[in-house]
Amino acid sequence: MKVLSTIQVSSEQLEKFKNLREDLEFVYTKEFSEPDEKVEAILTYGWDVREKTLDLYPNVKWIQGMSAGVDRIPLKVVSERDIILTNVRGAHAIQMAEHVLWSMLHLVRQGQTVARQQQNKVWSVKFRIDELYNKTVCIVGAGRIGETVAERCRAFGMKVLGISKSGTANPAFDKVGSMDNLKEFLQLSDMVVVILPLTPDTKGMFNEEIFSALKKGTYFINVARGPVVDEEALLSALNSGKVAAAALDVFVQEPLPESSPFWEMDNVFITPHIGGRSAFYTDRMYDVFAQNLAAYPDRMKMINIIDLRKGY
């Protein structure tokens, strides 16, 4: 089978792939631009796959996305052509959970303040330090990453609520609800962590109405996708004190423009979409691809197959 990839893999990794399939022809390309009827599978981060891309490869049967989100891939066309779409769900869980805990600690331990003081050579303890212990956190998106975050939060003595589409109970959480329980859970929470996929249903979900349901002084963390949050509504909540402080790893426009007011806010911790990054991420995502490569085309044995109706 011919796999076309815009991700360059090492010779050692390629050898591992070839050991899984004797018929493997793995071709690297900088961009999907040349038509090829022999291409059966595509390996991509997802941002470079468009409807016109798929027109170049009429016999593609499988796309392996090397990220958790697949919102940039034309799901309607993928569905119409009955193409298998898989992601690397789970490969981000460890590093994203650590990123969330780092963000939480940064907010409650006043990381912004002490960093500025160090830069300005100021020794002062005139600021309030909070703690995670005994706080209630609501994790909106109680999937595999959310579950891993929940386990870390409970180790800090936090009460953990989760929101998922199904509301199915999960032992990593103290309580899990569906989207119908969102406002109720937010009113109980001292911290909110957003780990949702970007779909038509979740775009702009955190709007003025949802922010108004928060407890005053809530800590807010977004490691999902920027468009899940109405940024104007978040700015208003930050300015009013409804949100005491926010840690934001994702934004509607990336890179975040210099004109964005978030840069100037003392109560906002900005990271450049690095929540999923780790020195070990590459190995984890290739493990997922390798498992699917060995199983293809048996859908029953492949993992992380995207439900194209739901978008995740």
pLDDT tens-digit map of 44-74: 999 999 999 999 999 999 999 999 889 999 9
Q: What is the pLDDT of residue 93?
A: 95
pLDDT of res. 283: 93
At 172 the pLDDT is 97
Q: Is residue 55 located within the same domain as residue 98?
A: no
Provide the domain limits for residue 265. Answer: 93-270
Q: Identify the pLDDT of residue 38.
A: 98
128 and 201 share one domain: yes
Q: What is the pLDDT of residue 182?
A: 98
Q: How confident is the model at residue 155 (pLDDT cuts 50, 70, 90)?
A: very high
89, 106, 152, 225: the active-site residue: 225
Amino acid at 210: I
Q: Give me the count of residues in the chain.
A: 312
pLDDT of residue 245: 98
Report the alpha-carbon distance of residue 175 to residue 81 in Å, rounded: 40
The model's pLDDT over 194-210, given as tens digits with 9 standing for 90+, comes to 999 999 999 999 999 99
Q: What is the total count of domains within the chain? A: 2
Please report, for the domain that includes residue 70, its CATH number. 3.40.50.720
Question: What pLDDT, on the 0 to 100 scale, is given for residue 197?
Answer: 92
Mind listing the pLDDT tens digit for each residue in 217-268?
999 999 999 999 999 999 999 999 999 999 999 999 999 999 999 999 999 9
Q: What is the pLDDT of residue 80?
A: 97
Residues 211 and 108 in one domain: yes
Same domain, 121 and 156: yes
- pLDDT given at position 84: 98
Domain membership flag for residue 300: no
Same domain, 65 and 109: no
Same domain, 109 and 194: yes
Instruction: Give the pLDDT confidence score for residue 146 in this predicted structure.
Output: 97
Could you tell me if residue 301 is inside a domain? Answer: no
* Model pTM score: 0.90
76/175 same-domain check: no
107 within 8 A of 245, measured Cβ to Cβ: yes
Query: For this structure, is 225 an active site residue?
Result: yes
Residue 288 lies in a domain: yes
| Structure confidence at residue 34 (pLDDT) | 96
Q: Which tokens go with 95?
A: 């590093």
Q: Is residue 308 part of a domain?
A: no
Please indicate whether residue 232 is annotated as part of the active site.
Answer: no
Query: Residue 23's pLDDT band (boundaries 50, 70, 90)?
Result: very high
Beta strand 191-194 pairing with 136-140: parallel
Same domain, 29 and 79: yes
Question: Within this chain, do residues 207 and 69 fall inside the same structural domain, yes or no?
Answer: no
311 lies in a domain?
Answer: no
Cβ-proximal residues to 251 (8 Å cutoff; 6+ apart), any chain: 226, 231, 260, 262, 273
Within a domain: 302: no
Of the candidates 81, 254, 277, 299, the residue annotated as catalytic is: 254
**Catalytic residue chosen out of the listed positions 21, 109, 154, 273:** 273
The pair of structure tokens assigned to 265 is 């806010």
Same domain, residue pair 210 and 102: yes
Residue 277 known to be catalytic: no
| pLDDT band at residue 192 under the 50/70/90 scheme | very high
On whether both 7 and 49 belong to a single domain, the answer is yes
Integer Cα distance of 238 and 241 in angstroms: 5
Transcribe the chain into DSSP letters. -EEEESS---HHHHHHHHHH-TT-EEEE-SSS-S--TTEEEEEE-STT--HHHHHT-TT--EEEESSS--TTS-HHHHHHTT-EEE--TTTTHHHHHHHHHHHHHHHHTTHHHHHHHHHTT-----S-----TT-EEEEE--SHHHHHHHHHHHHTT-EEEEE-SS----TTSSEEE-GGGHHHHHHH-SEEEE-----TTTTT-B-HHHHHTSPTTEEEEE-S-GGGB-HHHHHHHHHHTSEEEEEES--SSSSPPTT-GGGG-TTEEE--S-TT--TTHHHHHHHHHHHHHHHTT-TTT--SB--TTTT-
- Region 16-33 average pLDDT: 97
The Cα 272–Cα 286 span in angstroms is 24
Task: Report yes or no on 310 lying in a domain.
Answer: no
Is residue 303 one of the residues assigned to a domain?
Answer: no
Sequence-distant (≥ 6) Cβ neighbours of residue 286 within 8 angstroms = 9, 13, 16
Give the pLDDT of residue 296.
98
Average pLDDT over the chain reads 97
pLDDT > 90 fraction of the chain, expressed in percent and rounded? 98
Please give the average per-residue pLDDT across 77-101, as a whole number: 96
Same domain as 206, residue 175: yes
